[in-house]
Amino acid sequence: MLKVVLGHSDDPDSQAAIEEVLAKCVHDLSDLTDIPPQAAMLFAAIDFDHALILQKISAVFPGIDLIGCTTDGEMSSILGFQQDSVTLMLFCSDTVEIHAGLGCGVKANPLNAAQEAVQKAKEKSDKPAQLCIPLPASYLADGSTTNGGLILEGLKSALGSDIPIVGGAAGDQFRFKTTYQFFQTEVLTDSLPILIFAGDILFSYGTACGWEPMGRRSVITKSQGTVLYEIDGVSALEFYQRYLGDRTPTAENPLAVYEGDSDRYYMRVPNTFDLQTGSINFLGDVPEQSIVQMTDFNREEILCSVKSSLQTALARYPGTEPDAILLFSCCCRRWLLGTKAKEEYQMIKTELKKDIPICGFYTYGEFAPLESQGSTYYHQETFVTLLLGTK
């Protein structure tokens, strides 16, 4: 059995907001189950008093395994899409074990941070891990950023490459200054909080982006980490200028990076560029010898990808009906969609035939496999749907 309840408030006052959220959760718990919640996820806008919010949650649910982060927007089945709100999802089960772990110093040593987080979560259970949800730091107080690809490699190393990893990186409402992560009663930066699900959990996921590849496929011939120097032997800027002319590389035209020789791809968003070297710095690693393709931007296709993500997750779900849905959508999607951003959640709600608790946020990078039994990738500009249940 898995029971999930959630609360969501757009009250700008921190105390009033969390009191509203907790009142809704406590009320719904009394109607659903006698089993107390064992884990929680908190998504909150950047300007709230996060320490106060965590203290209030702990007073009502002492010792709960809670993780969370700040966001670039929140979603739930209570208030839909919001940009200045607090949402809390609680998990209750007598057959599924859900435990939190935390790794610190993720910028300097993401591999160690991932190992630490997984170890802390797994030592609470003797059951093998089935699924991991990470909510890592992205921007730090000194203006630097973490590396989502290295965080993912650390989690794969600690968990084993066959354990799906589905989640998103913390945001700060498009300020790109400091993101915060939550672990139990702590407000942190430069950290990696995770939830690990073990036991009789059923789940599935779907990913989609909506950008259309154009032109021919090419090969990255020189790169280092997130810096792309050459594609097909010409500078990265020259490659982009073939398609964009005098326009500079932006999030409207990310690169599709293909998974081997398949038609599946993940996205890489250009961030900054260097006119002298012709290089482009991307928001994620761009490995040498990868097959890539330029993409084109279309708002309607981006919105349609939400439906595709959900339908893929529903088709893959191994049970009859999920008990909860988590959504992770990229902040670049919200920015490019503008006033249409609210339609992403509306499309999810329209497609569902039953009322299911839904919670999610706009991220600074997404984690998910591209196929049901495949390896996990670090994404940008992607919409990820995660279904959870026991039936």
Three-class SS of the chain = CEEEEEEEECCCCHHHHHHHHHHHHHHHHHHHCCCCCCEEEEEECCCCCHHHHHHHHHHHCCCCEEEEEECCCEEECCCEEECCCEEEEEEEECCEEEEEEEEECCCCCHHHHHHHHHHHHHCCCCCCEEEEEECCCCECCCCCECCHHHHHHHHHHHHCCCCCECEECCCCCCCCCCCCEEECCEEECCEEEEEEEEECCEEEEEEECCCEEEEEEEEEEEEECCEEEEECCEEHHHHHHHHHCCCCCCCCCCEEEECCCCCCEEEECEEEEECCCCEEEECCCCCCCCEEEEEECCHHHHHHHHHHHHHHHHHHCCCCCCCEEEEEEEHHHHHHHHHHHHHHHHHHHHHCCCCCCEEEEEECCEEEECCCCCCEEEECCCEEEEEEECC
CA-based angle 379:382:388, to the nearest 5? 95
CA-based angle 207:335:225, to the nearest 5? 65
What's the CA gap between 100 and 122, in Å, rounded? 8
The residues, any chain, with a CB within 8 Å of residue 72's CB and separated by 6 or more, are 171, 172, 173, 174, 331, 334, 361, 362, 363, 364
- pLDDT of amino acid 30: 87
Question: What is the CATH topology of the domain spanning 212-295?
Answer: Thrombin, subunit H (2.40.10)
Per-residue tokens: 103:
């790794």
- pLDDT of amino acid 31: 74
| 240-273 pLDDT tens trace | 999 999 899 999 999 999 988 889 999 999 999 9
Per-residue tokens: 344:
């992403």
The residues, any chain, with a CB within 8 Å of residue 5's CB and separated by 6 or more, are 24, 25, 28, 29, 32, 37, 89, 90, 92, 357
Contact between residue 95 and residue 41 where contact means Cβ atoms under 8 Å apart: no
What's the CA gap between 182 and 357, in Å, rounded? 22
- pLDDT of amino acid 353: 80
- pLDDT of amino acid 34: 80
Per-residue tokens: 25:
């959760």
Task: Give the predicted TM-score (pTM) of the model.
Answer: 0.97
What's the CA gap between 56 and 45, in Å, rounded? 17
What's the CA gap between 371 and 207, in Å, rounded? 8
Per-residue tokens: 26:
């406590």
Residues in the chain, pLDDT under 70:
33
Question: Which residue shows structure tokens 């979560």?
Answer: 121
CA-based angle 275:276:279, to the nearest 5? 65
Contact between residue 311 and residue 325 where contact means Cβ atoms under 8 Å apart: no
Task: Compute the Cα dihedral for 16, 20, 22, 27 and give only its sign.
Answer: positive
- pLDDT of amino acid 305: 97
- pLDDT of amino acid 58: 98
Domain segments of the chain: what residues? 2-207+302-389, 212-295
